[in-house]
Amino acid sequence: MSRREVEPRVEVLLDPDWASGSLVDDVRRGLGGRPRRLPPKWLYDDVGAGLFDEITRLPEYYPTEAERSILVEHAADIAAACDASTLVELGSGTSDKTRTLLDAFRSPERPHEPLHRFVPVDVSDATLRGAAATLSRRYPGLAVEAVVGDFTLHLGDLPRGDRRLVAFLGSTIGNFYLEERAAFLGALADSLEPGEWLLLGTDLVKDVDRLVAAYDDSAGVTERFIRNCLTVVNRELGADFDQGAFSYAPLWDARMQRVDMRLRAEEPQVVTVPGADLVVELATGEELCVEISTKFSIDGIGAELAEAGFAVTETWTDPAGDFAVTLARRT
């Protein structure tokens, strides 16, 4: 370790049995009612994470690179507009895109005091520890305080002190239903002090054919990704979902401004889920709602943030106007 390198700290907030217990609860709640739902967080086992990484490089899937281009172009502007000295990243993964922000926030040209603490938050202990070690080596003097936690559960447990900027990128906010989104943004605002910051990435409304194509790619990678949720439930809870009995059914919901990714039963079937003590009867044509991806307008983002207790400072888009990154301050 170099003289200035700071050993990363890792705080584990998740119970060791969190994954199995949470999956059981989600399956009972989601498949036990109507419409049938399976939360998208269960898409991301090792196979699912690999498939999603493949999705981000598909020609039809624009959001990842559009957001990255905004951060590359405007990271210095974000750092100059925001006086935070701690950066918190929700759903950080490897913190790949966030390194552009860290470079800008630790630049000697930044008008505010240098960023001295980074708090990546993710449910994957192994991924988080690896990323924390890498970042500690790359940024000597930066205190990396990783949190193994679920950002839908542990907002109130995030490290305090200094002035924080919470980065929530990748348009992950679009995976929440409207009422869930309002509740999450409200809880996030409650966890912040007045004057602290939020940096929010959101995908914007555009041509419908292009939107649907981004989630129904010609190579079928997104379909395999969505189907993976059945594999996870079969493996973890002993369910007997028949993959071949479902078709992939992505659609655009114009009223809610979102792409819905569903699996449609092609024949009547009875599915047993022993690990959740559940039997599910599905009719022909009945759908499992697996994931949504809401699209936003600039004005709509501002209105939702204002309702939650944030004031927008500035919004940046890529040249094509596909994606937005919004900086807002807790009022």
| Tens-place pLDDT, residues 141-196 | 999 999 988 888 889 888 888 899 999 999 999 999 999 999 999 999 999 999 99
Residue 176 burial (C-beta neighbours within 10 Å; 0-12, 13-18, 19+): middle
Name which residue leads in pLDDT, 275 or 13.
275
- 201-257: per-residue pLDDT in tens? 999 999 999 999 999 999 999 999 999 999 999 999 999 999 999 999 999 999 999
pLDDT at 154: 86
- 308-327: per-residue pLDDT in tens? 999 999 999 999 999 999 99
Q: Is pLDDT above 90 for 296? A: yes
Q: Is pLDDT above 70 for 330? A: yes
Q: Is pLDDT above 80 for 6? A: no
- 62-84: per-residue pLDDT in tens? 999 999 999 999 999 999 999 99
pLDDT at 209: 94
* DSSP β-ladder status, 86-90 and 117-122: parallel
Q: How confident is the model at residue 3 (pLDDT cuts 50, 70, 90)?
A: very low
User: What domains are defined for the chain?
Assistant: 9-14+58-207+296-330 (3.40.50.150)
